């Protein structure tokens, strides 16, 4: 078969890459350029609120260079999980950003958009038909899940990207997308072994992260031939080694070998990683098993409420010795006191750091501790009122052993101590949805933009 | 073991492991990777009896049956995955990305003969 190459621009659009690396990639004659743009890594805020993860200027820089590179190479640019959460508004936002760039540069571009927020009625009927399968750790769901504010997305795979590419688009913008699908679509269509295609895609979606000595996000080149694929970082000083590549297949996954996609499962346990030279790695092997049914992963994020917080530090050893019990007493008192300043539903929690706030398991008495009070309310005004009331309760709560005068129980460096953090969200789904045919949960649009 | 004594042993682990890390594998699962320097170190770790489902269940407050252990001999690595007690982004979550959950594991290993 004719060799096929592609460039993975960066692990996360907006995190940057070296322009020179992309230029080298373009010179190698890739069949496409891809970039992942999202993840659930950052928590539910992005999908819930439609906010993008990084700064607009950062996205614009990466997109402009990616578009320019794809245009020079005469190949499509494929971007998955727009905005971070992959909601519809982000797809449209990236379309608008592409249009601005195209106009400024004097380009004319055909953009295919894949929208991945399924119709709520469809989701409801799939739920009723038992076609939503709970994945490990999935929250309990019911009809309210599909009535909630926030957003629910279905994760697109290669079938949806292929449909977008079939329009002859220069740019494909996908809402929520399986990261590997960005890089698997075109090699699959070219006829390369699916096991190798998916294994390569799984590694390439992080850009040059599979390399040994990179100093930041950068671009990666993947080349397919009859004996698997070769990975090469596009910065000549950066090296991929068999160990670095194989180690990277462990990153962020619960199973090192098994990758589940809408149309099948990859088992990469038999793949071999060998050095081509001191900076390039050849990978070959693995097994792809097509599935009987076509399933897409659903992610959902809905509002939790409005959050206000304060934190303060404790240095009194006597208080430090009783801090867990002291916090429990304060929390208990707050459940009553906060009803006096807010009428809506609320949640309150008082955590401590310095002991084991990060993992929450042990009861070490530290030299100094930080207490963090979070209140979630139905409005920002209510949350703020409650946090301020909680501050006062906590600030003067008695310390057992000291008596007979007013005390201040924690230090805080800010005037005012309460921060109103805005809306908070939570993940509401971790389910696979069985589709009768791959496109039924997705919407497609094509736009001509630019000069 | 007194904490300062334990802390003195921690750097010894870097002779056995080149990396111990944790991360979310999706919002509902945590995955911990231990990369050993070489085959000898890997053999010591696997043979030490420290990496067991029970040990992780105890350390992280999860069910033994929910702990998956993968031994990846070709790269001298061990992966341990289990459900997060609190999903990423819940109000009670203290670690959105799951990046610092491996701390207690490092302490457990530092107290063991692997850090002698």
Residues of B in contact with A358 (CB under 8 A): 94-95, 100-101, 103
Helix (H, G, I), strand (E, B) or coil at B65: helix
Query: Would residue A406 count as lying in a domain?
Result: yes
Quote the number of domains for chain B: 1
Q: Are residues A202 and A233 in the same domain?
A: yes
Tokens of residue A60, six digits: 């614009």
Per-residue b or e along A364-378, where b marks 16 or more CB atoms closer than 10 Å to that residue's CB: eebeebbbebbbbbe
pLDDT score recorded for residue A273? 96
- Residue A297's closest CA among A174, A118, A141, A119? A118
Residues of A in contact with B57 (CB under 8 A): none
Q: Does A331 map to a domain?
A: yes
pLDDT of A406 over the 90 cut: no
| Bridge partners, A222 (sequence order) | A6, A231
Look up tokens 């390439």; give the residue.
Answer: A204
* Chain centroid offset of residue A102 CA: 27
State the average pLDDT over residues A375-379: 98
Question: What pLDDT does A171 receive?
Answer: 98
pLDDT tops 80 at residue A21: yes
Say how many C-beta atoms besides its own lie within 10 A of residue A188's C-beta: 21
ipTM at complex level: 0.91
Predicted confidence (pLDDT) at residue B69 exceeds the cutoff of 90:
yes
Residue A344 has pLDDT above 70, yes or no: yes
pLDDT at residue A222 greater than cutoff 70:
yes
Question: Rounded CA gap, B29 and B106, in Å?
Answer: 20
- Distances in Å between the Cα of A45 and the Cα atoms of A85, A300, A423 are 8, 11, 8
Mean of all residue pLDDT scores within chain A: 96
φ, ψ of residue A323 to 5 degrees: the values are: -60, -45
CB contact A216 to B (< 8 Å):
no
- A175 and A232 co-located in one domain: yes
Cis amide leading into A416 (omega within 30): yes
Whole-angstrom Cα distance, residue A220 to residue A183? 12
Query: What is the number of domains present in chain A?
Result: 2
Domain that holds residue B64: 3-115
Question: Residues of A with CB below 8 A from B104's CB?
Answer: 356, 359, 361-362
Stated pTM of the model: 0.94
Average pLDDT for residues A264-268, to the nearest whole number?
96
Summarize pLDDT for B83-102 with one digit per residue, the tens.
999 999 999 999 999 999 99
Q: Give the model confidence (pLDDT) of A225-247 as tens digits.
A: 999 999 999 999 999 999 999 99
Alpha carbon distance B70, A419 (integer Å) = 43
pLDDT (average), residues A44-54: 97
Taking CA atoms, what residue in B is nearest to A259? Answer: B25
Distance (Å, whole) CA A187 – CA A193? 9
Q: Do B26 and A351 touch (CB under 8 A)?
A: no
Q: Give B4's contacts in chain A (Cβ within 8 Å).
A: none
User: A254–B61: do the CB atoms touch at under 8 Å?
Assistant: no
Which residue intervals of A205-353 are DSSP H helices?
242-248, 317-321, 323-337
Using one digit for the tens of pLDDT, what is the confidence trace for A162-189? Answer: 999 999 999 999 999 999 999 999 999 9
A269 shares a domain with A334: no
Read off the tokens for A427: 């993940």
The tokens of A175 are what?
């809402």
Range B42-64 average pLDDT: 97
Could you count the other beta carbons within 10 Å of the beta carbon of residue A191? 12
Of B29, B91, B101, the CB nearest to A304: B91
Residues A321 and A295 in one domain: no
Confidence of residue A216 (pLDDT cuts 50, 70, 90): confident
**pLDDT of residue A362 exceeding 80:** no
The answer, yes or no, to whether residue A364 has pLDDT greater than 90, is no
The 10s digit of each residue's pLDDT in A91-131 is: 999 999 999 999 999 999 999 999 999 999 999 999 999 99
HEC states along A177-241? ECHHHHHHHHHHHHCCCHHHHHHHHHHHCCHHHHCCCCCCCCCEEEEEECCEEEEEECCCCCCCC
Mean pLDDT throughout B28-45? Answer: 97
The answer as to whether A309 is a domain residue is: no
Does residue A365 carry a pLDDT above 90?
no
Residue A349 has pLDDT above 80, yes or no: yes
Four-residue CA torsion sign, A137, A142, A148, A150 = positive
pLDDT at B1: 79
Q: Is A305 part of a structural domain of the chain?
A: no
Residue-range definition of the domain harbouring residue A381:
316-410
- Among A394, A396, A376, CA closest to A332: A394
List Cβ neighbours of A403 (8 Å cut-off, separation of 6 or more): none
**Residue A419 is assigned to a structural domain of this protein:** no
> What are the residue ranges of helices labelled H in chain B?
3-9, 39-47, 53-60, 103-110
The span from the CA of A267 to the CA of A283, in Å, is 14
Is A402 found in the same domain as A255?
Answer: no
Give the whole-number percent of chain A exceeding pLDDT 70. Answer: 99
Spatial CA neighbour of A371 closest among A420, A322, A405, A416: A322
A402 plus A437 within the same structural domain: no
The mean pLDDT value for A274-290 works out to 97
Per-residue pLDDT for B51 more than 90? Answer: yes
Nearest CA in chain B to A244: B75
Return the number of other C-beta atoms located less than 10 Å from residue A206's C-beta: 20
User: Which residues of chain B neighbour A246 with C-beta distances below 8 Å?
Assistant: 74-75
Is the pLDDT score of A361 beyond 80? no
How many angstroms separate the CA atoms of A120 and A144, rounded?
A: 11
Q: Assess contact for A359 and B22: CB atoms under 8 A.
A: no
Radius of gyration of chain A (CA): 25
For chain B, how many residues are written?
A: 116
pLDDT at residue A355 tops 90: no
Residue A310 lies in a domain: no
Q: CB-based contacts of B58: which residues, under 8 Å, 6+ apart?
A: none
pLDDT in the model for residue B65: 97
Residue (of A434, A400, A260) closest to A328 by Cα position: A400
Best of B6, B20, B21, B28 to substitute, by most chain A Cβ atoms within 10 angstroms, is B28
| CA R_g for chain B | 14
What is the C-alpha to C-alpha distance for residues A154 and A78, in angstroms, rounded to an integer? 18
Q: Are A322 and A341 in contact (CB under 8 A)?
A: no
Cβ proximity of A263 and A290 under 8 Å = yes
User: Are residues A353 and A238 both part of a single domain?
Assistant: no
CB-nearest to B92 from A349, A362, A430 is A349
Residues A177 and A117 in one domain: yes
State whether A215 and A360 are in the same domain.
no
**Assigned domain for A421 exists:** no
Decide: A337 and A362 in contact? Cβ < 8 Å.
no
Residue A137 pLDDT level (bands cut at 50, 70, 90): confident
User: In the prediction, which pLDDT does A404 show?
Assistant: 84
Confirm whether A169 is domain-assigned. Answer: yes
- Determine whether B103 is exposed, middle or buried from the number of CB atoms within 10 Å of its CB (0-12, 13-18, 19+): middle
């Amino acid at each position: 078969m004719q060799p096929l190459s592609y460039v993975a621009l960066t692990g996360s659009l907006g995190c940057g890459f070296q322009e020179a690396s992309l230029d080298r990639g373009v010179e190698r004659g890739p069949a496409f350029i891809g970039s992942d743009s999202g993840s659930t890594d950052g928590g539910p805020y992005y999908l819930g609120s439609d906010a993008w993860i990084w700064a607009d200027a950062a996205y614009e820089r990466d997109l402009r260079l990616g578009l320019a590179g794809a245009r020079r190479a005469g190949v499509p640019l494929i971007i998955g999980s727009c905005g971070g959460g992959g909601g519809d508004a982000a797809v449209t936002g990236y379309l608008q950003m592409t249009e601005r760039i195209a106009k400024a540069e004097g380009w004319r571009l055909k953009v295919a958009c894949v929208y991945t927020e399924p119709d709520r009625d469809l989701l409801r009927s799939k739920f009723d038909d038992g076609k939503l399968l709970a994945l490990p750790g999935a929250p309990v769901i019911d009809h309210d899940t599909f009535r909630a504010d926030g957003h629910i997305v279905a994760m697109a795979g290669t079938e949806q990207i292929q449909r977008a590419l079939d329009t002859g688009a220069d740019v494909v913008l996908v809402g929520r997308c399986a990261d590997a699908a960005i890089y698997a679509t075109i090699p699959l269509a070219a006829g390369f072994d699916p096991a190798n295609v998916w294994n390569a895609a799984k590694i390439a979606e992080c850009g040059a992260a599979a390399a040994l000595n990179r100093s930041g996000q950068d671009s990666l080149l993947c080349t397919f031939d009859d004996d698997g694929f070769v990975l090469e970082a596009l910065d000549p000083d950066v090296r991929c080694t068999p160990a670095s590549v194989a180690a990277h297949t462990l990153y962020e996954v619960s199973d090192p070998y098994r990758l589940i996609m809408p149309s099948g499962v990859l088992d990469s346990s038999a793949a071999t990683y060998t050095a081509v030279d001191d900076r390039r790695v050849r990978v070959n092997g693995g097994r792809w098993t097509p599935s009987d049914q076509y399933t897409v992963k659903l992610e959902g994020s809905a509002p939790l409420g409005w959050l206000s917080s304060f934190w303060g530090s404790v240095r009194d050893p006597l208080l430090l010795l009783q801090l867990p019990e002291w916090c429990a007493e304060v929390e208990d008192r707050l459940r009553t006191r906060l009803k006096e300043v807010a009428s809506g539903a609320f949640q309150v929690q008082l955590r401590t750091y310095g002991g084991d706030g990060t993992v929450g398991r042990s009861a070490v008495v530290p030299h100094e501790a930080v207490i963090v009070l979070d209140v979630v309310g139905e409005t920002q005004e209510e949350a703020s009122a409650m946090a301020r009331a909680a501050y006062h309760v906590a600030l003067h709560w008695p310390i057992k052993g000291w008596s007979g005068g007013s005390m201040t129980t924690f230090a805080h460096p800010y005037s005012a101590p309460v921060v109103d953090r805005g809306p908070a969200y939570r993940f509401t789904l971790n389910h696979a949805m069985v589709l009768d045919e791959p496109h039924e949960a997705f919407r497609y649009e094509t736009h001509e933009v630019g000069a | 073991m007194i904490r300062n004594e334990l802390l003195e042993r921690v750097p010894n682990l870097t002779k056995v492991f080149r990396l111990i890390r944790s991360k979310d594998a999706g919002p509902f699962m945590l995955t911990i990777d231990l990369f050993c320097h070489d085959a000898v170190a890997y053999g010591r770790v696997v043979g030490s009896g420290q990496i067991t489902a029970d040990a992780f269940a105890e350390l992280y407050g999860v069910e033994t049956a929910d702990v998956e252990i993968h031994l990846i001999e070709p790269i001298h690595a061990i992966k341990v995955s289990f459900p997060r007690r609190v999903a990423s982004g819940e109000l009670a979550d203290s670690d959105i990305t799951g990046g610092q959950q491996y701390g207690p594991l490092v302490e457990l290993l530092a107290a063991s003969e692997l850090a002698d």
